[in-house]
Structures are given as structure tokens and as C-alpha cells.
Chain A
Amino acid sequence: MTDGRAQTLLLKNLHRSDSATLEAYLQGGGYRALARALKEMTPEQVVEEVKASGLRGRGGAGFPTGMKWGFMPKGPGPKYLVLNADESEPGTFKDRLLLERDPHLVLEGFLIGCYAVGCHHGFIYIRGEFVRPYRILLQAVQEARARGYVGKNLLGSGYDLEITVYRGAGAYICGEETALLESLEGKLGHPRLKPPFPAQVGLYGKPTSVNNVETVANVPMIVEMGANWYGNIGRPKNTGPKLFCLSGHVRRPGVYEFPLGIPLRELIYQHAGGMLRDDRPLKAVVPGGSSVPVLRADQIDVLMDFDSLAAAGTLLGSAGVIVMDDSVCMVDALLNLARFYAHESCGQCTPCREGTGWYVQILERLERGAGRKSDLDLLLDLSDRIQGNTICPLGDAVAMPVRSYVTQFREEFEEHVATRRCPRAAAAAPGRA
């Protein structure tokens, strides 16, 4: 349970205007964890500590990080750790904050991760559009190198580690780990079939682990404070602090840090200041980035952690909380997302490539008032045919929201068909397509 106060572990340095500098980071106890890992722990001990902490990946899937690292083969030969800084899930903006405001926290966690999996050349894949964070990160790597945290013989430990920061060039799909690896090899971001998993065959065909920015930002505190301490934050099997991104119709949108398990209602009404307009009550909430099933206003008494949200029929995902008031037309909102996925589908798999475009066509005609009664079931049928039938989860990421919008707000979709118009179009903004 939370006490209602924002707790800052991941964001603890952000009160300083110079938080991105090495100086500020060191003053806050920075790089102590790296020194501890290199001097007092074996790589296996670091992996075990992270396993024991219960840390689950913060990129969306919630897979246990220590277990992921544990899949990496032991012994000699090239191995890679890749940082996924390709944040592009609609509603999500936590990684950019960390990269811009506390790059050394991210870097320290990443360096410890590299040591843990036995990687001597780590790659940071950052979204191409993130030019400012990219420059800040380059600067951070340079500062770290000058202090002996990057390069040959880290802190006299005998461990060598090179870091390369790699810019993407605009493709949502490159946030999917295997597409990211393809992109990193100078190819189109086409996801790979799994198995083999990256831990066996990854970057350049070598064992590779891919971790999200926020995930590695948790690692220094785990190494420094220990798994037991970390495991007491949050809830069982859902441990640690978490960054929640609030956007849409709330008074105070932004990134909020709380232990996993904070009630969604508290997050919206207490911390994000409640609804933007007093006369516009809550209608719907996307709790974990655009790819997860939507919740109705009467379903927000749920805890924000992996298992609680899964039990409620949705997902924590990237914790991008998109709040919608009753002015929103759910067909229109879904059409917006369908266009996003249609644009971002890589085109490899027929169900996703064609299906996303069909979603757009069907939703456009519903929104125009030219929808048919059969369209609702057609949307659901399409979801059944896409979900689970594609190489990567992008197909699922659009099929799930479509199914949930249609089932959760079916009357609204039916109204579009029955009245042959969008009931909210009269109040709609200009430029509405």
C-alpha cells in the first residue's frame, strides 16, 4: 500500500537542475554500485541478486530481468547486452525523462548489466527522434569514460567494456527486441522468429540480452541496497518502484514514481490532480500504453502492478496511463490507434499488415456514419485472426485494444451504426478526419 506520498528512488536526482552531470550523480552516491559489483561481486552474484530482487522488465512484458540474464550462456566468446531506449509506445514518456535528466543512473545500471552477463561491448539503441537525449547520453558516456567507468580495465578490475550509442531512424517496431537487433545490424526492423531467442542467437548471431531503460535504472539500487531491501518495495512478485506516465484529460499530466501496486484511482484523482474539466467525468483509461485493453470508468479500482492488471483483463505494459473524459468518442479514439498500428506494422506478416489497414477502413466508415451492423463482429473476428498469428506482438498489440474498445463500449459503436453518424461529432474539433 502507498501512503500517498511520491517516493523517489528512480527520480531521486531530478530535483537538481544539473542532474544530468556526472558531478551531480556522484554527489548523490552515483557509481558506488558499479564499484561494488566490479570489486566485491562475481557476475553470477549480480545476476542472482537481481533475480532475488524480483525485478521484472519495465519495457512492457514484465519478464524477470535476472532470469533473462541467467539465460545467457557462460564461458568465453562475444556476448552482448543491448539497451532498449526506443521508447515509442503511445502514452509512454518515462525513459526519455531518465535519459535526459539522469543519464548516469541509466548508464550505471547498464554497465552493471554488461558485467553481469559478461558483455564487453554494450550497445545503447536510442530512438532516432530523441536527439536531445542522444546528445546528453553521448556526453554521459564521455564523462564516464574519463573517470574509468567505460573502456579498458574498469576501475582497475581487469574488466574491459566498450559502449556504443546507436540512433534508430523512426520505426515503432524497433522497440521489439528482435526488430531492434535487426536494425542494429543495419537492416530493416523486421522482427525475427523466436526461437531461437536472443540469449542464444542475438546480435551478429551471438548471445544477446535486451533490456529497457527503466529496467536497468533499477539495477544500481538493487546492487547497493540488496535484493531484500528492494523486494520490500511494492507487492509480492511485483517488486520495486515504478514510473507511471499520466497523459490525456488529467490536470497534472507527467511522470509519477510509486511502488508497484498503487491504486489506479489514487494515481488519477490524487496525484495527477483529477479530471481536467470539472464538467467532464472520467470515461475510459488505458492503463499501460496504447497496446493494452482499455478500462471503463467503473473499472479503475485496480492496483497498478503486473498481476493485478492481468487479473483485471488488461496489462501494466509500459505504464502509459491515458485518461479520457466523456467528451471522447471511443470509435474515434480507436481509429486514432488503428492508424498508428497500420502505419507502424512492418509488413512482414499478412494478418498484421492487411488486418491493421482493414481496421482503419472499418473504423473510418463507422466514424463517418457509413458503418454496418456487421462491422462490430467483423472487428472482433479480425482480432481473433490477427492475435497469436504474427511473428511479433505488434499484431496482438492492436488486436487487444480493438477487441476491448468494441466489447467495453459496444453501445457506442452500435449507436454509430444506428444513427448513421458519430454522436460526438457535433462537438468535435476542426480538422477531424
Chain B
Amino acid sequence: MIPGKETESRIEAALLEYPQPQSALLAVLHLLQAERGYIADEDIEYAARRVDVPVAHVAGVVSFYTMFRRKPPGRHHLQMCRTLSCQLRGCREILAHLRTRLGIAEGEVTPDGRFSLVTVECLGSCDTAPMMRVNDDYHEGLTIERLDALLDSMK
């Protein structure tokens, strides 16, 4: 897949923002992932060409940063915070409920492609614990009831 026009023009713009093109690598990967939903092998090759670095370097970068995914996520990518402040306020119960209700474990996608579930480290929202990120949005102060209502609203 060649990136679409919109992504391509954004990549062009990103390359112009830095004194060295390699600095645009993370931005390029973010854009490619936004278009496809994950980073495929050909995206790695494409990014390497665009910022003029070896393919192996891009592969290393993709595996180093947790936000880059190598597999398609669900339509709603649930990222449950598991770090201390959220644990103190019950993220384990929330996570257990998620596992039970969705019938999947961390790292898996529901068969209908609706949800994927991962645990993540502190997202800097400890005063609203327990919380999770769904795609790009924060959902805070979760309770089992709120979580169920939220999941019901996500088609």
C-alpha cells in the first residue's frame, strides 16, 4: 500500500520541519500507523526510504517505542493503565472485568474486531485512577458500571 495523498502531503511537511530528515522518522511512522492502523513491513521499508536510513534502523525504532503496533488492533483499542496509582484505585478489578466481558487477554483482539486490549504503563492521569486510553482518548475515574456503559456505546 502506498500512503494516501493526505498522508503523503503530511509526510512531506514533516520532513521539512527538521534540520535532518531522520528526525521526522517518528512522525512518519505515526502517520503511516494512523492510516493503516498498524505498521506493516512495507511501511517500514517506505519510512526508511523517505528519511534515508537503513530498513533495520526503522525496524529497531518500531520495536523500541510502545505505541507502534505490528498487528491490526480492534476498532476500539483499549489501553488499561496498570501502574501503581491506578493499581491502588482498583485497576486490577477493571482489567479482570474487561477480560471476562470481552473474553480476551491482553494483546488479543475480539473475534469481531471490535475491541483489542493491552495494559500500558502510567499515562499521567493518576488523579483520575483507574483510567484507560481508548484509541487516542482518555477515559477516567472508571468503575465497573461506567466501563460497561462505555463498552456498550462503542460499536
Contacts and interface: CB of A to CB of B under 8 A. Distances in A.
Interface of A: 78, 87-93, 95-96, 121, 127-132, 164, 166-172, 183-189, 204, 245-249, 253-255, 286, 290, 320, 322, 324, 328, 333, 336-337, 339-340, 343-344, 346, 429-432
Nearest to A250: B127
Contact of A186 (B53, B66, B133): B53
Interface of B: 17-20, 22-27, 29-30, 51, 53, 57, 60-61, 64-68, 82-85, 87-90, 92-93, 95-96, 99, 120-129, 133, 136-138
Contacts, number: 158
Given A168-B65, A186-B25, A431-B93, A90 B51 contact: no
B29 to A, nearest CB: 7
A273 to B, nearest CB: 12
A128 to B, nearest CB: 5
Given A186-B53, A253-B129, A431-B92, A90 B122 contact: yes
A87 B124 contact: yes
Contacts of A128: 26, 30, 65, 67
B17 A164 contact: yes
Smallest CB-CB A-B distances: 7 pairs? A431-B96, A170-B66, A169-B65, A186-B25, A247-B126, A186-B22, A170-B67
Given A169-B65, A171-B65, A171-B66, A248 B88 contact: yes
B84 A322 contact: yes
Given A128-B67, A129-B124, A290-B84, 12 more contacts: A92-B124, A93-B126, A121-B19, A127-B124, A166-B23, A168-B65, A169-B66, A186-B22, A186-B25, A247-B88, A324-B88, A340-B122
A431 B24 CA distance: 40
Contacts of B137: 131-132
Contacts of B127: 93, 245-247, 253-255
Contacts of A322: 84-85, 88, 126
8 contacts: A95-B124, A129-B123, A131-B137, A169-B29, A249-B89, A253-B126, A336-B83, A339-B82
A107 to B, nearest CB: 17
A91 B67 contact: no
B122 A88 contact: yes
A332 B99 CA distance: 21
Nearest to B129: A247
Contacts of B85: 90-91, 247-248, 322
Nearest to B25: A186
B93 A169 contact: no
Contacts of A78: 19
A274 to B, nearest CB: 16
A336 B87 contact: yes
A130 B137 CA distance: 9
